[in-house]
Amino acid sequence: MSAEPTETATESSPEPRADIAVTGLAVMGANLARNFARHGYVVAVHNRSAERTESLLAEHGDEGEFVGTETLAELVAELKRPRRVLVMVAAGAVDAVIAELAELLEPGDVVIDGGNSHYPDTIRREQALAERGLHFVGVGVSGGEDGALNGPAIMPGGSPASYQSLGPMLEDIAADFQGDPCCAWIGPNGAGHYVKMVHNGIEYADMQVIGEAYDLMRQVAGISPAEQAEIFATWNTTQLESYLIDITAQVLGHIDATTGKPLVDVIVDSAGQKGTGRWTAISGLDIGSGVAAIAESVFARTVSSQRQVRAQAQQLLSAGAEPVTIDDREAFIDDVAQALYASKLVSYAQGIDMLTTAAATYDWPLDIGTIASLWRNGCIIRARLLDEIMQAYGGRDVTRHPDPQNSGAGDYPANLLFAPKFTEAITATLPAWRRVVATGVAAGVPVPVFSSALAWYDQMRAERLPAALTQGLRDYFGAHTYQRVDRHGSFHTLWSQDRSEIEH
């Protein structure tokens, strides 16, 4: 769209003319505002401190039509009806900003929270605003700074009615994959933020398994970061092809200008986290979905950040491991690639299990095929695999909203690994996957997610689990009862008496 002069609030036109407003102009808000403007929308912008508004207008005002404002009241006054206000402020400020906006808006208007809010907050906020006749849309946005500007993956929750008004705009600014926008209505209230949270949980696991592959190749086979940059670049032409594998090649190949060492060697080995991985693990426990590999990847970051106690452990705790030698380097590299792929598949299988379990828990009509389609581009976990997952779950159909209480039925595989393509794919990795985990254990190189994913796989396929013994123990100390394989009912053994069995 042609550049037009920007205006300040004091010069604003009498008729509201902005299509959308953005408040909160830090990196994400400013880039989303620019993205809307570049797509021809008139964008009213506001930030608590005016400097950010001024610099957005000064540096990027020619990219489209912006209307700068200094207060939320001015911002709202610039908007055409129904008013749509995108809130992109830090998590702690969301409630206060929404409360102020709610006083300024009218029934039918739409408040959009595009930050990484926790889904219970989104459920609460949606309910509170609905009571005032306002639509509240919790939107998951993935793709970081670059995605926000050039096309993120967008996961909107909220009412279907709000999507009618807002959806086309979001689809315009989203990334696309072969013509499909990476944006579709996810489900009511907190569904969009929930799906974004699970996306982030998978992202944690994805990054951790990449780290474990790197660490094994480095520590066991002595493969340098520069050599690994080549290996990861090659992997990016295989079934592992993904954004994260691509940028791994770039980070590993980068040399620190100050020291001349690989950059990865001068970065402190303590990983940060902002909470979405932790929320994913907690939600998995809350709703009863076994997301052990995802949770393990969150714990791996936590352990990495315990630097003081790690320093002590390095002094006090030995490996007790024999040196492991790798006779066939190429075969080892190939094994690691297989283990990486298998662990990644398990992470996705666990993430999808969370979605189907959450659908039933919160009564959200989540469509896995469509959700996978949104993750094919724009977001951090974009990967070749996502297109295949989408196909395994019936392809993309934005009109399909499965019965939340029965979303494992019909054409859906009850687990990702039950889709024939993935059953076959994971089966092919098994010998290599087991060798790699065994090598890590033997060498004392930690592989928490490779091994957790394999343990999950073996638990799922096991004919008998030691849970039977657990139940026996629970009955012994707590009279918790157990069920029998040969009869219906609940039973208790009178452990402290004659050890006869009674039925409860």
Q: Which residues bind ligand NBP (CB under 6 A)?
A: 24-29, 47-49, 52, 88-91, 93, 96-97, 115-116, 141, 144-145
The CB-of-248 to ligand NBP minimum distance in angstroms stands at 18
Residue 43, annotated as binding a ligand? no
Select 96 or 313, whichever has its Cβ closest to ligand NBP. Answer: 96
What SS3 state is found at 7? strand
In the bound complex, what is the minimum distance in angstroms from residue 446's beta carbon to ligand NBP?
Answer: 28
**Closest Cα to residue 297, out of 259, 351, 245, 250?**
351
Residue 489 labelled as part of a binding site: no
- Is the distance from CB of 79 to CB of 105 less than 8 angstroms? no
Q: How many CA atoms lie within 13 A of 98 on its CB side?
A: 29
What b/e sequence results for 456-471 when a residue is b if at least 16 CB atoms lie within 10 Å of its CB, and e otherwise?
bbeeeeeeeeeeeeee
Confirm whether residue 474 is marked as ligand binding: yes
Structure tokens at 476: 């012994």
Annotation-wise, does 25 bind a ligand? yes
Give the separation between CA 171 and CA 378, rounded to whole angstroms: 12
Nearer to ligand NBP, 96 or 409 (CB): 96
Task: Indicate which residue of 126, 196, 296, 344 is catalytic.
Answer: 196
Q: Is there a binding annotation on residue 49?
A: yes
Minimum distance, C-beta of residue 152 to ligand NBP, in the bound complex (Å): 8
What's the closest the beta carbon of residue 227 comes to ligand NBP, in angstroms?
Answer: 30
The residue among 27 and 285 lying less far from ligand NBP, judged by its C-beta, is 27
- Look at phi and psi of residue 172 and say left if phi exceeds 0, alpha if psi is from -120 to 50, else beta: alpha
74 catalytic, yes or no? no
> Is 373 flagged in the annotation as binding?
no
Q: How far is the CB of 34 from ligand NBP (least distance, A)?
A: 13
CA 134 vs CA 29, 165, 322, 361: distances in Å: 22, 13, 65, 25
Determine whether 261 is an active site residue. Answer: no
Q: Which is nearer to ligand NBP, 72 or 79 (CB)?
A: 72
Distance (Å, whole) CA 390 – CA 368? 7
**Residue 482 assigned to a binding site:** no
275: annotated binding-site residue?
no
| 89 in a known ligand binding site | yes
Are the C-beta atoms of 110 and 165 separated by less than 8 Å?
yes
Instruction: Outline where 220-271 has alpha helix (H).
Output: 225-235, 243-252, 263-266
User: Measuring CA to CA, which residue among 150, 231, 199 is closest to residue 382?
Assistant: 199
- Looking at beta carbons, which residue is closest to ligand NBP? 115
CA distance 136 to 367: 21
Instruction: Choose between 140 and 262: whose C-beta lies nearer to ligand NBP.
Output: 140
Report in angstroms how near the CB of residue 257 gets to ligand NBP at its nearest. 25
Residue 65 has phi, psi (to 5 degrees) of -105, 110
Catalytic residue, candidates 7, 203, 212, 296: 203
394: left (phi over 0), alpha (psi -120 to 50) or beta: left
Query: Nearest CA to 206 among 459, 453, 438?
Result: 453
Query: Closer CB to ligand NBP, residue 205 or residue 432?
Result: 205
* Distance, C-alpha 272 to centroid of its chain: 15
Closest distance between ligand NBP and the C-beta of residue 414, in Å? 31
* Residue 28 is labelled as binding a ligand: yes
* Residue 335 vs residues 252, 302, 429, 435, 468: alpha-carbon distances, Å: 20, 28, 8, 7, 34
Name the maximum alpha-carbon separation found in the chain.
Answer: 90
Distance CA(208)–CA(359), nearest Å, equals: 27
Give least dist CB 150 to ligand NBP, A.
13
Q: Which of 271/333 has CB closer to ligand NBP?
A: 271
Q: 182 with 154: CB under 8 angstroms?
A: yes
| Binding residue numbers for substrate | 116, 142-144, 199-200, 204, 274, 301, 474, 480
Binding site residue list for NADP(+): 24-29, 47-49, 89-91, 116
- Residue ranges for the known binding site are 24-29, 47-49, 89-91, 116, 142-144, 199-200, 204, 274, 301, 474, 480
Active centre residues (catalytic): 196, 203
